Chains A and B, each alone.
Chain A
Amino acid sequence: MARSMEPLVVGRVIGDVVDMFTPATEMTVHYGTKQVANGCEIKPSASADKPSVQIHAPPPASSNLYTLVMVDPDAPSPSEPRYREWLHWIVVDIPEGSDATKELVAYMGPQPPTGIHRYVFALFNQKGKVMAGCRPPDARSNFSTRRFAADNGLQPPVAAVYFNSQKEVAVRKR
């Protein structure tokens, strides 16, 4: 098992969201200046805007396009994930290097109502330029990353990262 896969297994991202895969691509996600590392804590206010995503692929595949999916497997609460998974963002046709060009599903920032939620970014390698016949999912709740990838021929993922977030303490007016 690769070194970078261990936090994903320990955090049960592999298992809840995706299946075991070998990381083929490096992906870095930044919210402002803060880089997303596996299991780090990011406040909802810091992640309200879209992050910037950089993809570094190994040299032989330089004209690849990628699909990024962001889901929350702990919605609405980690002890009762009724809406597993909650879809936050889908971006398709990402070229090498940077960022979000074509959003299939608009970005929605983390709003965990209760408990500490994991937010998973999963990157898939696209075979063709335009994802033919893919419609945006009609509802954000009860989304399945595995089913989405299987329907659009994207299996398996090439990179994944996740972070934690919890509801911020509201400022009380005395």
Chain B
Amino acid sequence: MAITAAVATTTAADCSSNRWSMQSLSSALPSLNSITCSSIRFSSSSHCRPSLSLTRTQQAPHLFSSYTGLASNNPLLSLGFSDLTSFEHGLAFVDNGCRISAMRHGRRVPKLNRPPDQRRALLRGLTTQLLKHGRIKTTRARASAVRKYVDKMITLAKDGSLHKRRQALGFIYEKQIVHALFAEVQERYGERNGGYTRIIRTLPRRGDNAPMAYIELV
């Protein structure tokens, strides 16, 4: 969101002199990736606006009025990729040669910027901590990636047999948590079918502006 703010203030300043130049816009942009991601998230930030502090809610409507006047419906078109208008208008080409789509078509596994062994260890650690503490605060991508594994662990506990207990012990790092989970899950989640977690989006992290979220057991 800070990136979009920087772009909007640059374009607003140039608008005051009645001349919007491509150079000023492209120089203000760090890279194409972040603009795509931040423009998508800007529309979803209207959902989490109630949870923002007061100073941000005062800034956000002002930014909307200056930014959407300049951009067309497709945010990628405003950046000058006019040769893609006819078809492939959801795709753009970045300098290093890969293609970025505005949609999630065909993406099955969240990679979390890690090799597979580290990714598995990260998810195991996150599910262990979530089952231990009940509510943790991480980045949004990790929170939405860990939902599947937490639900799997609770489903194993609902089954309750020895085989499932050993499977859970092979995934969760601390065995007291597995035994406690198997003991209490029937009374807690007996009637609930799935959806054992809840994600609440929150303010970005100060150090790297990563979007954060609380994930908690329902």
Contact = CB atoms under 8 A, between A and B. Distances in A.
A27 B203 CA distance: 22
Contacts of A101: none
A39 B137 CA distance: 12
A31 B205 CA distance: 21
Interface stretch (B83-91, B109-117, B127-135): B127-135
Contact of B50 (A6, A41, A166): A6
Given A6-B50, A35-B54, A164 B133 contact: no
Contacts of B200: 10-11, 39
B214 A164 contact: yes
B133 A4 contact: no
Nearest to B52: A37
Q: Majority SS of interface residues in chain B?
A: mixed
A77 B51 CA distance: 23
A114 interface: yes
B29 interface: no
Interface residues of B, number: 20
A39 B133 contact: no
Contacts of A74: 134-135
Contacts of B51: 7, 10, 37-40
Contacts of B132: 79
A172 interface: no
Query: Which residue, B50, B214, B217, has most C-beta atoms of chain A within 10 A?
Result: B50
A3 B134 contact: no
A136 interface: no
B133 A77 contact: yes
A158 interface: no
Contacts of B202: 39, 41
B133 A35 contact: no
B216 A40 contact: no
A24 to B, nearest CB: 18
Query: Which residue, B53, B135, B137, has most C-beta atoms of chain A within 10 A?
Result: B135
A115 B134 contact: yes
Contacts of B12: none
List the 6 shortest-distance A-B pairs measured between CB atoms, nearest first: A79-B134, A78-B134, A115-B133, A78-B135, A116-B135, A39-B51
